[in-house]
Structure 1
Amino acid sequence: MVTTAPDPVQMQAPVEVLSEAELDRRRDAHEARVDAFVAPHLARRSERVKHPVHDFLFTYYSQRPAQLRRWHPGHGVRVPASRARAYAGLKGYVVDPDGTTTVGEAHVRAQRPLLEALVRLLRATAARPANLGCFGLHEWAMVYGLTPEEVRHADWPLRLGAEGTDRVVEGHRIACSHFDAYRFFTPAARPLNQLAPSAGDREAHEQPGCLHAGMDLYKHAFRLTPMVCSDLVADCFALARDIRETDMRAAPYDLRALGFEPIRVETAEGKRAYADLQRSYAERGAPLRARLVAECERLLAVADG
């Protein structure tokens, strides 16, 4: 619902009012950037064609394509009155007497539990050294003991077959630290993991070398919408998309027909290649994680105001 009364705390803080030209430029640039990924997904969806790699960010995570495509300037930046109609009815926004609109202080205060939880998790993850020894075997543990018809991506064959895949799992130390990967392990694979992460102890386990922790930066960013600028969300999405490709290249599936050459993590050479990519994603994710921490801290200061 649109709020017309000014927020007294918000009115005390200096804010930037975007010009029409600047808002249009940044919105159009954002839409063009994400349309490179959104448009193919929507085309496949209309044709009922599934993509085991590129659909993941739109089906596993709760943010829908239209939400990713919408550009938000973030709290502290006002939309000019001439463009306010596009934002005024959206959750979190308030309309001020001069006709401009921005994310209101009341919305930021209401998000305090989310902000506090996120900043704790992000800080804990950033403080932990990157573990580069998991070799993407979480995807293998998700199909361990299953028949080819039972696996999640049953349309795509297992490179080593069911028995060969099981032998890889049984012949390696499985050390998945990410709950949202571990919870999809088959019942037979769960006891083989060196850890037993749960939804309630993420801060104790998540580490920056984990591909899923890197992908989740996108989730953390869009959960802060519309309080943070969508440019940050898009930056995290771009990293998550690259990580997803590596995640599935290292998986037991044969996706060469889609153009994805496998990373053969069952070999020493494949393990080295995977660890190198893990390291590069950890390095790319570090500044994004720091930006998210800074945004949480900024917004918590607003909530305290």
Structure 2
Amino acid sequence: MSKLERIHAFMAVVEQNGFAAAARKEGVSTAAMSRQVARLESDLKAELLQRTTRQLSLTEIGAEYYQHAKKALAELAEAEIAISDSRSEPTGILSITSSRYFAIKYLLPRLPEFMALNPKLKIKVELAERFPDLTLENIDLIFGVSMEGPATLIRRRVATTRYILCASPAYLEKYGEPRIPADLSKYHYITHSMRKPDNVVTFKNNKKIYVEPILWLNDSRAMCECAIQGMGIVKLHDYILAAALEKGSLVEILPKFSECEQPVYLYYQQSRYLQPKIRRFIDFYTSDNPTK
């Protein structure tokens, strides 16, 4: 008799409120049902049930064990269903949240291939610079850069990026170029309204310089445009600034002090990984990914 069968017998006794009723439901003798529960108690070296001639009740340990066992068996059943489903083609809608520029740079270029491989799957992409609540908003996946999410989330690296500090040539001509990080406190600084703290610029070796922002925006593209217009210094990811730097609209400053590369992660709920649509997407974007 396996441990799993003994656990199942114990749960049946609890749920049927007695050995005789549980035995009838499972199609075995009352004596056999009693032996299975007794063997489980012996394995655990703990009394799970209080038995009298008139009443059967759970001990404190028994009640706790029942709740854990119920949850474990439910998860096992869910896993078996998911494994069975994985042999079939993913269907339904896959909901993804990503920042606009990361989606353009990394997510969207590979999306046609992924959708061709999974023709029954539909994709919903929300472009937003925020960390949503996956459960409340029914979102399956989030792309983000080193963001701290709830402990229930798992993250997988899909790419790398780095922050670049830059300004327009006109701004630097007017105010001069900073030579060391400490010089930044003398310049106009444009920041993102979601950054916390919003008045700190981090450099190599985690060196922090405090600045006084003059402009807060909640959109990276708008921040880039304000810097191009000569309104101040901005710090954004390389994939956001690439076009402006290539055109010469912006110039990188203090490059030798810049932070190391940062990983870009794909976040998802551990409990949802077994869903075929989510597992298929994660495997596709983390296997042989040229952006890593």
> Which structure: larger Rg?
2
Fold-level similarity (TM above 0.5): no
Give the number of the structure whose residues are more often strand, by fraction. 2
Normalising by structure 1, we get a TM-score of 0.23
Give the number of the structure whose residues are more often helix, by fraction. 1
